[in-house]
């Protein structure tokens, strides 16, 4: 190492050791705080908008659960196996919607706190596909009930 009296140049931190291995720089320390305390506090309007979006996901999930209950209890003209299958699909869709809503909320909140772009996820396309399958199942139940 160079001292004030030593005119030699400072050591290169990326220089190789005699064994041929590069000198490793210390890794930056991870922030030990919870994710919701990391970064900067985002604008409260963006946070409230993000929470409203999460509540919309939650309302959708509750509506799907109510639909599952209605299919099982209020449509006795359809065979029970068909009703049960449709209700299970609605329940699975409700759980998926809840988990997706939470993931989207948390991801957006974390990105806002770190001043990162919000990006885009293919979740909306997958959810749209799931609703198309649901529409097909409802159409099958309606057609089967009409006979």
Greatest distance between any 2 Cα atoms in the chain:
99
Q: CB-based burial of residue 132 (10 Å sphere; 0-12 exposed, 13-18 middle, 19+ buried)?
A: exposed
| Residue of 72, 85, 59 lying closest to 140 (CA atoms) | 85
Q: CB-based burial of residue 93 (10 Å sphere; 0-12 exposed, 13-18 middle, 19+ buried)?
A: buried
Q: What is the mean pLDDT of the chain?
A: 81
pLDDT at 6 (0 to 100): 53
78: DSSP letter: S
pLDDT at 36 (0 to 100): 72
For the question of whether the overall pTM of this predicted structure is more than 0.85, the answer is no
pLDDT at 25 over 50: no
pLDDT at 19 over 80: no
pLDDT at 59 (0 to 100): 97
Query: pLDDT tens-digit profile of 87-120?
Result: 999 999 999 999 999 999 999 999 999 888 888 7
> Would you say the C-alpha torsion 15, 16, 17, 23 has a positive or negative sign?
positive
pLDDT at 42 (0 to 100): 85
Query: pLDDT tens-digit profile of 51-76?
Result: 999 999 999 999 999 999 998 887 77
pLDDT at 5 (0 to 100): 58
């Amino acid at each position: 190492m160079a001292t004030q009296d030593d005119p030699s140049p400072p050591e290169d931190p990326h220089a190789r050791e005699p064994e041929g291995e590069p000198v490793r720089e210390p890794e930056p320390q991870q922030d030990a705080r919870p994710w919701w305390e990391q970064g900067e506090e985002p604008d409260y309007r963006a946070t409230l908008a993000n929470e409203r979006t999460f509540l919309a996901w939650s309302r959708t999930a509750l509506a799907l659960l109510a639909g599952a209950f209605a299919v099982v209890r209020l449509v006795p003209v359809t065979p029970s196996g068909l009703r049960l299958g449709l209700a299970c699909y609605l329940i699975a869709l409700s759980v998926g919607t809840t988990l997706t809503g939470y993931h989207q909320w948390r991801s957006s909140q974390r990105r806002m706190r770190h001043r990162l772009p919000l990006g885009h996820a293919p979740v909306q396309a997958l959810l749209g596909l799931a609703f198309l399958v649901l529409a097909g199942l409802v159409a099958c139940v309606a057609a089967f009930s009409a006979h």
